[in-house]
Structure 1
């Protein structure tokens, strides 16, 4: 299939208690795309009727826009999974959308042709801060990296990417880890890189809007070490119920090794053995990983700039729990082997 101006696809938008003014801007920026062959599926994670009525009122009954409502709240990770589960079979491509950005009119037209060569393509964004639309940075400056570096630190922002529909055959259902580090775009990016390829281009295709309601904060910047510490502290209180040193170490492990292990193990299970690049990509982070490939991936990534210093520090903070976990795994294997020997 050729991806061009006639290729039909789906814009998948996950909505939850949107800022109505920002939501209006985003909806109209999608409606005004120069590539018009799409359906926009909006999954309302609560407040279905309110969101449906708003969309109908603002877009004048544009039949390309459809709101799906559900009683069960899933959060942003589950809500994106849910909207992807409802993509119709005839869609050739999928573009992810947040509820509070602003796409440039040619975004789809610019990105779609790249899908003739790769499974997923992502552009860049100009980051603006509210109130006042202050420009934080002219470009998010995401980059192309190998699978191991992409597992270590995500370079693909969901709202900036478009991918082939068949990627869903690999990506669904999403793997699970009960922490905010489980994010849909990181998982989709490594799925693409492990199979048909992921490409990051330099084109700035939208404004990414920072405001007080962002779930994950700025998309383009790299947190300082102080901000990383504050981030881990807040998440530790939320997911561990405490900000004690032990709780924070567990949280740091979930944020670093834990989420990467979940993704690497899922890739190992779902991607055919012998796929080029798979072995070297997942070896650093899968269950039972050796420390040599892990150290190589992180240190070389830090030196090349593919892994930012705060991300590297999060991995370092996660090492104690990782060592303890691996020690317990080794003990269990030895005990199991000893019992087997006694039986035989």
Structure 2
């Protein structure tokens, strides 16, 4: 396998018990990219033999596709971290891929040139529900925001992004919170923002497929307040064993201040002093943050429309636990 080293990159695909029809459609859409100078690394988070044999059967003559597998299952967050740890040094860019979407043929060709100017470029998707091919939304409507707003509410969906490989020098290893709140694409986006920035473009570059097996799906600020409460209750039952008011407050803190604190503390240690937005966006959420900067970031982001009401509600709901935890940490 030989590639033009100046444009060679990696498609990093995390797989776990895929729906074989959707998986094949995604593999074919990657295989058909007009920018063909890539290695597709597929990390099987369990079920390695099945994924390996399926890829060999369907794409056996295409050596751009390589399956790696491990005996332990890490979940989607850890699996993306693991596949990114195997990106070869000669790769110039990385594109994240889910196992069940459908890329348009010119996706990579359209996005890669933007990396001459920024560390990460992210696009839009058409949201489609399977089965039935119903169109849920013509665009995901992600937007460009400053670092503080990006810390508060992610605008980068991993499967819509391509980033320079050097972002991994800052991003690996991933910070940990060990709840559903830790999200790989959010972390990679804020890392890229503190390097040479993130550009969100309006181009629709793929179908984002929603189905019964989605881990997260098209959620976040796009759901209503009632949907946000249902989401918090479901996460409370999963990670705290209950949907009691106290468990929901703890979950709201995980989903808001907890995960942002994990990212901000890691960035404070790893990012270069004077990185763009570091003293604004990161300082608003790191351990020991002052409430003035935090309030300004949240209020300004909400006023501009960068932070949606359900997201702001999660911060408000997480505030009691944050204040209690801050008090305990200050007394320790």
| TM-score class normalised by the smaller sequence | over 0.9
Aligned length: 329
TM-score by length of structure 1 reads 0.93
Larger Rg: 1
Of the structure 1 ranges 55-64 and 315-324, higher mean CA displacement relative to structure 2 is found in: 55-64
Distance in 1 between the 2:277 and 2:71 partners? 41
* Residue matched to 1:20: 20
> Does the Cα contact within 8 Å between 1:208 and 1:219 map onto a contact in 2?
no
Query: Which 4+ runs in 1 deviate beyond 4 A?
Result: none
Structure 1 stretch displaced more, 310-319 or 294-303:
294-303
Which residue number in structure 1 is paired with residue 232 of structure 2?
A: 232
CA–CA separation in structure 2 for the residues paired with 1:12 and 1:276: 27
Aligned in 2, Cα 1:221/1:269: closer, same or farther, shift over 3 Å? closer
Distance 1:173 1:182, change over 3 A: same
Establish whether residue 78 from structure 1 lines up as the match of residue 78 from structure 2: yes
Structure 2 unmatched ranges of 5 or more: none
User: Could you state the TM-score of these two structures normalised by the residue count of structure 2?
Assistant: 0.97
**What is the distance in 2 between the residues matched to 1:110 and 1:5?**
18
| Aligned residues of 2:160 and 2:205 also touching (Cα < 8 A) | yes
- CA distance in 1 between counterparts of 2:236 and 2:138 reads 33
Counterpart of 1:288 in structure 2 is 288
Structure 1: give runs of 5+ residues left out of the alignment. 333-344
SS in 2 for 1:177: coil
Quote the Cα distance in structure 1 between the aligned partners of 2:38 and 2:153. Answer: 31
- Residue 267 of structure 2 is matched in structure 1 by 267
Give a deviation string over 1:310-337, Cα, whole Å, max 9, x none. 00000000000011111222333xxxxx
The alpha carbon displacement at 1:61 in A equals 2.3
Distance 1:7 1:219, change over 3 A: farther
How far apart in 1 are the matches of 2:220 and 2:206? Answer: 12
Alpha-carbon contact 2:153-2:221 (below 8 Å) kept: no
- Is the CA contact 2:5–2:90 (under 8 Å) kept in the aligned structure 1? no
Paired residue for 2:133?
133
Aligned-residue CA RMSD (Å): 1.3
The answer as to whether partners of 1:140 and 1:221 remain within 8 angstroms in 2 is: no
- SS of residue paired to 2:226: helix
Q: Which residue of 2 aligns with 1:339?
A: none
Deviation at 1:220? Answer: 8.2
Shift of 1:219: 5.3
Give distance in 2, aligned partners of 1:117 and 1:293: 29
